[in-house]
Structure 1
């Protein structure tokens, strides 16, 4: 069994690919977005619809960058908490001796 660090090194840990929201509204919202896209595809010219898709792709890229920054920040905060917890453990153990 590989360690977490080995799996990370070999690119086997990809949280963004494995996260599926568990909120029961997620699938309903996704369905509604798909339906809306279909409606706009019928209403708009091919050029206008392509522009809409390009704008939505830019929005998706922006949201992905934000999600990445949020993940990194959360991970860093968690690591700092672990450092603080470890330091407190050492202080507690030293106080017992």
Structure 2
């Protein structure tokens, strides 16, 4: 069995693909977006709708970049906290001796 680091390196761990908000509001909003896109597809010319799709794709790309940065920042913050907790443990054990 691969270690988590090996799996991460090999691209087998992709947190962004597994994270789906459990908030029921998320699914409602996604449904509204889908309905709105369908409405615009009916109103716009094919070329105009393709331009809208390109704009929405660019927006999704920036959201993905922001989510990646947020994940990395949160992971780093958590690791720094663990380092602090571990250091405090050593100090705490020294005081108990």
Normalising by structure 2, report the TM-score.
0.93
Partner of 1:72: 72
TM-score of the two chains, using structure 1 as the length reference: 0.93
Deviation at 1:26, TM superposition (A): 1.1
Unaligned runs of 5+ in 1: none
Q: How does 1:10-89 map to 2 (within 5 A)?
A: 10-89=10-89
TM-superposed deviation, 1:13: 1.2
Q: CA deviation at 1:5?
A: 2.0
Task: Show structure 2 runs of 5+ residues with no match.
Answer: none
CA RMSD of aligned residues (A): 1.0
Greater RCO, 1 or 2 (C-alpha within 8 Å, sep 6+)? 2
Post-superposition, which runs of at least 4 consecutive aligned residues in structure 1 deviate over 3 A? none
- Count the aligned residue pairs: 97
Q: Deviations over 1:51-82 (max 9, x none)?
A: 10000111110111111111110000000000
